[in-house]
Structure 1
Amino acid sequence: MKTCIACGMPMKSIDDFASGDQKKDYCKYCSRSDGTMQSYNEKLASLTNFIIKTQGLDHDVANDAAKSMMNKLPAWKNDKK
């Protein structure tokens, strides 16, 4: 089982992979409609909104939490902010 390099989600089935391509190292939630991986800023915005929706945190706190999570993932090792 692979883990998404951009968000850490376990990719258990083919449907979890970007464009259903098991060769990709990132999941369907971290890809654009054309199958390419989202940029750091795109993923940060998406993850921030996900945290707001699921945990009810305000934007600044959710954004800080998203940055902290992303800083631990391989896709963003050169994008730490």
Structure 2
Amino acid sequence: MKSCIACGMPMTQIADYPLYDISKNYCKYCAHADGSMKNFEEKLDCLTKHYINFHKMDHIIAKQTAYVVLKKLPAWKRK
């Protein structure tokens, strides 16, 4: 089973891949409509909003948490 290099989501079904392309190593949530991978800033913003909306976190804490989580993933380790 693959995990998304950009968010860590397990990709267990073909529908989890961008444009159903199983050769990609990132999920549909980390892809633009054309199938290209979103950049770090886009993922940071998305995850920050997720933490604010679903975990009721303060914006500053949500952004710091998102940054720490993302930096541990293969796509963002060297950035």
Q: Are 1:62 and 2:32 counterparts?
A: no
The code of the aligned residue for 1:43 comes to: K
Q: Show CA shifts across 1:30-79 (max 9, x none).
A: 00111000000011001111111110101111000100100100000121
Instruction: Output the CA distance in 1 between the equivalents of 2:9 and 2:61.
Output: 21
Q: 2:19 and 2:48 mapped to 1: Cα distance?
A: 23
2:9 is aligned to 9
- The alignment yields a C-alpha RMSD, in angstroms, of 0.7
Q: Give the equivalent residue in structure 1 for 2:43.
A: 43
Residue ranges of structure 2 left out of the alignment (5+ in a row): none
Cα distance in structure 2, aligned partners of 1:53 and 1:32: 22
| SS of equivalent residue, structure 2 residue 72 | coil
- Taking structure 2 as the reference length, the TM-score comes to 0.96
TM-score, normalising length: structure 1: 0.93
Count of equivalent residues: 79
